């Protein structure tokens, strides 16, 4: 993956996943597949699982184990109240940053 993208994903990947989870419970493998379909073709599986462990530990998601038709049981993650609040803050932070950068890109300075 490009080094720039790797660095830029820090902080944003978490928001992306939480946003995807909004009203849409999903499991790790599914999230990875979705990310790839969105153009994040080089995001490693391990990265996603590590992120899921983290947001679970931080209490942003609820987890439910479900048997799979194929392969090992799935861990289905869904956004809880704390996660929604955290996601709101994420959008605020990102909104500020995006606005500043958009200004820089268009105006020059």
Partner DNA sequence: AGCCACTACTCAGCGCTACTATGTACCGGT
Partner DNA sequence: ACCGGTACATAGTAGCGCTGAGTAGTGGCT
Measured distance CA(61)–CA(67) in Å, rounded? 19
36 contact, one of a second copy, DNA, none, CB 5-8 Å limit per kind = none
Stretch near a second copy under the rule CB under 8 A, chosen from 13-21, 43-51, 60-68, 71-79: 13-21
* Per-residue DSSP letter, 71: S
**What are the residues binding DNA (CB under 7 A)?**
1, 3, 5-7, 9-14, 27-30, 42-47, 49-54, 68-76
User: How far is residue 93's CA from residue 96's CA, in Å, rounded to a whole number?
Assistant: 5
Long-range CB pairs of 90-96 (<8 Å, 24+ gap) are: 90/14, 90/15, 90/18, 90/19, 91/15, 94/12, 94/15
Instruction: Name the segment binding a second copy (CB under 8 A); options: 5-13, 47-55, 60-68, 75-83.
Output: 5-13
Binding site for a second copy (CB under 8 A): 2, 4-12, 14-16, 19-20, 22-24, 38-40, 89-91, 93-94, 96-98, 100-102, 104-105, 108-109
């Amino acid at each position: 993956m490009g080094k720039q993208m790797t660095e830029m994903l820090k902080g944003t990947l978490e928001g992306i996943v939480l946003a995807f989870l909004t009203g849409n419970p999903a499991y790790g493998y599914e999230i990875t597949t979705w990310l790839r379909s969105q153009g994040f073709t080089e995001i490693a599986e391990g990265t996603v699982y590590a992120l899921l462990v983290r947001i679970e530990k931080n209490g942003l998601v609820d987890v439910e184990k479900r048997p799979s038709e194929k392969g090992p049981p799935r861990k289905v993650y869904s956004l809880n109240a704390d996660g929604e609040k955290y996601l709101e803050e994420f959008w605020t932070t990102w909104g500020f940053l995006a606005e500043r950068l958009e200004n820089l890109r268009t105006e020059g300075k």
